[in-house]
């Protein structure tokens, strides 16, 4: 499997499908500890990404991710827009003008995305945020890329599985960042919606490469 611009467009298309299909679930997660708007915002944002991709027809994966970043920053409200926008922008920069992505560059791009989220949101692992999905995803991706027999699909699968486990692991945590932190101990017992949507995004990347 080659990760090129066609893969990137498929990935973003699957992201849009995932956000539409899980919009209500993400709203419910956010209703428990946030503003109830995460699902609506993510659905609207990725539908706008699809429109922009159809208009612009990017020529490289990096260009597709940069377009996604700009669109999410302008269309997604709340904290998610700047956080995801920064993530996709940093990933785009890491990919540069490469027409195809190898396992090492893929892991680097995922790490750059996570680092962008950390820089923008000032959160760290254990704060009950999307970082709790992204950090294990990056660690798993780097390990898979370092394997001499590692493939881009292997890197993506490792990242998605780790992100999904990381999202589930936010359930018992007490939030230390964002609106959920206002609830204190009452935030425990609820999954972080940003971690949940992050896992959906990384699983969509697998689907695009399968």
Mean pLDDT of all residues in 170-179: 92
Reduced to 3 states, what is the DSSP secondary structure of residue 101? strand
**Contact present, 69 and 100 (Cβ < 8 Å):** no
Is pLDDT above 80 for 177?
yes
Query: pLDDT, tens digit, for every residue of 31-79?
Result: 999 989 999 999 999 999 999 999 999 999 999 999 999 999 998 878 8
**Contact present, 44 and 76 (Cβ < 8 Å):** yes
Q: Count up the domains in the chain and report the number.
A: 1
Containing structural domain, residue 31: 5-209
Reduced to 3 states, what is the DSSP secondary structure of residue 123? coil
Query: pLDDT, tens digit, for every residue of 99-148?
Result: 999 999 999 999 999 999 999 999 999 999 999 999 999 999 999 999 87
**Contact present, 13 and 68 (Cβ < 8 Å):** no
Report the C-alpha gap between 202 and 99 in whole angstroms.
20
CATH at 32: 1.25.40.340
* Average pLDDT value over all residues in the chain: 95
């Amino acid at each position: 499997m080659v990760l090129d611009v066609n893969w990137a467009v498929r990935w973003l298309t699957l992201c849009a499908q995932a956000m539409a299909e899980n919009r209500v679930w993400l709203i419910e997660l956010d209703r428990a500890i946030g503003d109830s708007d995460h699902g609506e915002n993510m659905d609207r944002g990725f539908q706008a990404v699809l429109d922009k991709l159809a208009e612009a027809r990017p020529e490289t994966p990096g260009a597709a991710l940069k377009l996604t970043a700009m669109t999410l920053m302008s269309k997604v409200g709340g904290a998610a827009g700047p956080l995801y926008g920064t993530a996709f922008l940093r990933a785009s920069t890491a990919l540069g003008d490469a027409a195809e992505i190898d396992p090492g560059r893929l892991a680097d791009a995922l790490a750059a995305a996570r680092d962008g989220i950390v820089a923008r949101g000032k959160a760290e692992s254990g704060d009950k945020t999307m970082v709790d999905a992204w950090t294990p995803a990056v660690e798993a991706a780097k390990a898979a890329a370092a394997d001499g027999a590692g493939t881009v699909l292997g890197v993506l699968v490792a990242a998605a599985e780790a992100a999904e486990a990381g999202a589930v692991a936010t359930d018992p945590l007490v939030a230390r960042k964002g609106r959920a932190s206002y609830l204190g101990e009452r935030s425990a017992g609820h999954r972080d919606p940003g971690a949940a949507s992050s896992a959906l995004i990384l699983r969509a990347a697998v689907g695009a490469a399968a």
